[in-house]
Amino acid sequence: MTEMSASRPFAALVDRLKAAGLRPTRQRLQLLRVLAEGGHRHLTAEQLASEAKAAGFGVALATVYNTLNQFTQAGLLREVVVEPGRSYFDTNLGDHHHFFDESANRLIDIPADQIAVAALPAPPVGKRVARVDVIVRVTDSDTSL
């Protein structure tokens, strides 16, 4: 560890928040640290709140939701809505899609080159397609047949 990073352990996170146009508050820094330490993954707000608490940083669930929404709007996360009122937040911002394992309630990445969308309708006048998200729902096989 360099002398600079030892004296400013959150420097990279502060820079990341500032680059995204967000003020580096204590809550944002702590939640971003918890998110960053886990690598690419998919979390619900409840899971992030639980991980933050386990890391010694208790935070209200409403604050976690607000912060996740701010991170998503700033381009630091991607929200994956699996059904109304149920979202996961994805730390992988690269081009990819998802399996949603309904029996385990978890998302699994699918590389973008493994999905081919044959055709899209023309967007409404004055709009453009920003991206296409594919969620393939899977469940446990019935091996009793």
* pLDDT per residue as tens digits for the range 94-104: 999 999 999 99
Q: What is the mean pLDDT of the chain?
A: 89
Torsion, Cα of 98, 61, 67, 136 (10° steps): 10
pLDDT at 87 over 90: yes
3-class secondary-structure state, position 8: coil
Percentage of residues of the chain with pLDDT beyond 90: 77
**Where do we find the tokens 């886990």?**
38
Rounded (10°) angle between helices 61-73 and 26-37: 80
List all residues 6 or more positions away from 144 whose beta carbon is below 8 Å from its beta carbon: none
**pLDDT tens figures, 14-65:** 999 999 999 999 999 999 999 988 889 999 999 999 999 999 988 999 999 9
Widest pairwise Cα distance in the chain: 63
With b meaning 16 or more CB within 10 Å and e meaning fewer, what string describes 109-140? Answer: beeeeeeeeeeeeeeeeeeeeeeeeeeeeeee
